[in-house]
A and B are shown apart, each in its own frame.
Chain A
Amino acid sequence: DGGITQSPKYLFRKEGQNVTLSCEQNLNHDAMYWYRQDPGQGLRLIYYSQIVNDFQKGDIAEGYSVSREKKESFPLTVTSAQKNPTAFYLCASSGGRGETQYFGPGTRLLVL
């Protein structure tokens, strides 16, 4: 089955710790995205990538970093510089930038 997987489902971060969220897709999509979802707010774009080895900042990139070494994978690192990391993180992919996006199941990040 084609789709997008995210892991882990839940992630706990300690103060000062960097954590990495995994996102893998087997849809052969070129574009991949990371969003943050907070209660009562719309999805906010963190980073996106249109091709391998290239990525751009979204609206709220501060405190986050990404890499795109393979077409199928787009991991997100939440660094210690992100002071309010508790949120639901969603990864998505599309055939191209601006086309219909398909989402993974999400990772909920909590701070200890």
Chain B
Amino acid sequence: EDQVTQSPEALRLQEGESSSLNCSYTVSGLRGLFWYRQDPGKGPEFLFTLYSAGEEKEKERLKATLTKKESFLHITAPKPEDSATYLCAVRRDDKIIFGKGTRLHILP
């Protein structure tokens, strides 16, 4: 069965404390992996799409990487405004499968 698992479920960091969020998947024939940011009560905001192992993309303090079995969202020197839920999704054929997300809280 196709699955997308995100870990940890929740993460609390001090401002400036770098860390990584994990998205592991058991999807054969991956055709894309997506990262989104979701603030409370709002719709997900698109961050990155990764297509092949070894690919990396960056945006401000965020960097997403992809291997054959998982993706990492690295957060460098986070600020309180980076607090949100981060969603991962994978594409198999024309179907998109979402993980449950990681709730990130950055303490000032």
B43 x A90 contact (CB < 8 A): yes
A42 x B43 contact (CB < 8 A): no
Q: Does A102 contact B (CB under 8 A)?
A: yes
Q: Could you say which of B34, B94, B99 contacts A42, with CB atoms under 8 Å apart?
A: B99
Q: Does A104 contact B (CB under 8 A)?
A: yes
- Find chain B residues with CB under 8 A from A45 CB: 96
Distance in angstroms from B50 CB to nearest chain A CB is 11
Q: Does A43 contact B (CB under 8 A)?
A: yes
- Find chain A residues with CB under 8 A from B34 CB: 100-101
- Find chain B residues with CB under 8 A from A92 CB: 43
A residues sitting closer than 8 Å to B (CB atoms) are 4, 6, 40-43, 45, 88, 90, 92, 97-98, 100-106, 108
B residues sitting closer than 8 Å to A (CB atoms) are 4, 31-32, 34, 36, 41-46, 49, 87, 89, 91, 93-101
